[in-house]
Amino acid sequence: MERIQLGSLEISSVPSIPTLVDEVVVDERYLVCRNGAVLYAVPLRSVVETMRPQPVVALEGLPAFLLGVATIRGAPVPVVDLACMTRSSGQRLSKRFVTLDLNSRCVAIAVDDVLGVRQIQASMLGALPPLLSDLDEGAVSSVATLDDGLLLVLHAARLLTDAAWAAIEAGQGAS
C-alpha cells in the first residue's frame, strides 16, 4: 500500500490498481460535503448550487437511498441520501441540499454540511480497492482521507442508475 501526503490530503492506494482517469482531471476542484463522519467530494463542474433542504415527497418503489422528489426551481428533482447510499449511517434530517447537473438531468444530494471547495490532483487519487469496486454501480470513484476523515470521491453521473431514473419517472406518473 502506498501513502501520499499533499497538505492535509492523504491518499492510500494499492500500487497494482491503475489510477482513475475518466472522472478525475489534474488539479480538479471539488465541492467537499459531510454526512456524519464521512466526507464526500463532488466534481465542482457538476455542481449547480447549494441550498437549504426543500420538502421531499416520497414515492413508492424507489431504492432506499432515494428520499423522494423535491420541487427545486419549479422542477421535480430526485433527492439522494448519500449516507444511506454508502451505508455510512441511517437516514436523518439533512441541513443542506447540493444540486448537480448530470447531463441534462438534475439531482439533489442531501448532506449535513457543505465544507467548501478543494483542489485535488488526479495523481493523489487511485481506483477503489477491489472489494469496494462494485459499490453502488460506480457512484464512488475513489477513497481517500482529508483532514483525518474518510473522503469518498463521487462519480456524479453514476449517482442514479437507469433503473432508479425509471422508478422516479414511474412514481411521478402515479402521483
Q: Is 103 exposed, middle or buried (0-12, 13-18, 19+ CB in 10 A)?
A: exposed
- The 10s digit of each residue's pLDDT in 24-72 is 445 688 999 998 888 899 999 999 999 999 999 988 878 888 899 999 9
Sheet holding 47-51, edge to edge: 47-51, 96-102, 105-111, 75-81, 66-72, 56-57
The confidence score (pLDDT) of residue 74 equals: 94
| φ, ψ for residue 119, nearest 5 deg | -100, 125
Q: Which three cell numbers stand for residue 28?
A: 480538479
What stretches in the chain show pLDDT beneath 50? 1-2, 4-7, 9-25, 175
| Rounded Cα distance, 91 and 174, in Å | 25
pTM here is 0.72
Q: Which three cell numbers stand for residue 137?
A: 454501480
The confidence score (pLDDT) of residue 25 equals: 44
Question: Which element (helix H / strand E) includes 35?
Answer: strand 28-35
The confidence score (pLDDT) of residue 1 equals: 45
The confidence score (pLDDT) of residue 113 equals: 92
